[in-house]
Amino acid sequence: MTAYCRAHESLRKDRMFDDPLAAAVITTVYGIGSATDEQLPRLGPATDDGSSSLWNLFSFYFAHRTVFYDNRVLNAIDAGCRQIVLLGAGFDGRAFRLGLPGEARVFELDQASVLAFKEQVLLQHSLIPHCHRVPLAADLREEIADPLIAAGFRPDQQTLWIAEGLLMYFTQAEADRLLDRVSAVSAVGSHFISEYFTAQWNFEDVNYELLNEKDRAVWDLLTWEFPSDPLAQKPGDWLASHGWEVRTCTTVGEFGRAARREVPPQFASADGPDIWLFDGTKGAE
Ligand code: SAM
Q: Give me ligand 1 centre to Cα 221, in Å.
A: 15
pLDDT digits (tens, 9 = 90+) for 124-149: 999 999 899 999 999 999 999 999 99
Rounded to the nearest 10 degrees, what angle do helices 53-78 and 213-224 cross at? 50
Q: Which residues pair with 105 in a beta bridge?
A: 83, 132
Average pLDDT of the residues in 64-72: 98
**pLDDT for 58:** 95
User: What proportion of the chain, given as a percentage, has pLDDT over 90?
Assistant: 80
Cβ–ligand 1 contact at 135 (below 6 Å): no
Q: Which of 22-36, 141-155, 261-275 has the lowest mean pLDDT?
A: 22-36
- Residue 226 exposed, middle or buried by CB count within 10 Å (0-12, 13-18, 19+): middle
Give 155's pLDDT tier (boundaries 50, 70, 90). very high
Ligand 1 within 6 A of 92 CB?
Answer: yes
pLDDT at 55: 93
Does the pLDDT value for residue 187 go beyond 70? yes
Residue to substitute in 169, 218, 226 for testing ligand 1 pocket (most ligand atoms within 8 angstroms of CB) = 169
Regarding predicted confidence, which is higher, 40 or 13? 13
Q: How many CA atoms lie within 13 A of 63 on its CB side?
A: 29
Ligand 1 center from residue 170 Cα (angstroms): 11
Q: What is the pTM of this model?
A: 0.96
Ligand 1 atom 5: the closest Cα is on which residue? 92
Mean pLDDT estimate for the chain: 93
Query: What pLDDT score was predicted for residue 140?
Result: 98
Residue 263 has pLDDT above 90, yes or no: yes
Atom of ligand 1 nearest to the CA of 88: 12
C-alpha 243 to ligand 1 mean position (Å): 24
Q: Is ligand 1 within 6 A of the CB of residue 111? A: yes
Asked whether the predicted pLDDT for residue 67 surpasses 90, the reply is yes
